[in-house]
Amino acid sequence: MVAAAGLAGCSKEDAKSLPLPSKAFCQAAYTYDKKVERKASLAVQIKLVQTMVDHAPKDVAQDTRVFLDALQRRADGDKSVVDNPKIMKAVDNVNRRAQADCGLFTQDPPSGM
């Protein structure tokens, strides 16, 4: 699982010190995950990630903004955001945080909601 690999370098104390994501962040992340599986349009993705930005925990707030900016730029026709390592890292950080603390992939819907 991606979340386990990403968190392997963090101690339990580090994980405990992170602020818990809000219900709104978790719901948007969960809905985003489900909609992307069904090939959601960029407009739908942008709306969901905007909600994530509005409610992101401080530790992933900047990464969530990078994610949103990339979606908006792609919607405007910018292909440079595709496979961009900086953007991919930001998206991975947001996904890792949602998976670890929102219960994504552990139950349907995630705990905390």
Instruction: Output the tens digit of pLDDT for each of the chain's 113 residues.
Output: 233 333 333 434 455 577 789 999 999 999 999 998 899 999 999 999 999 999 999 999 999 999 999 999 999 999 999 999 999 999 999 999 998 888 765 545 544 44
Q: Which of 42, 62, 40 is nearest to 52 (CA)?
A: 62
Non-local (6+) Cβ contacts of 9 within 8 A are none
Residue 58 has phi, psi (to 5 degrees) of -55, -35
pTM for this model (two decimals): 0.76
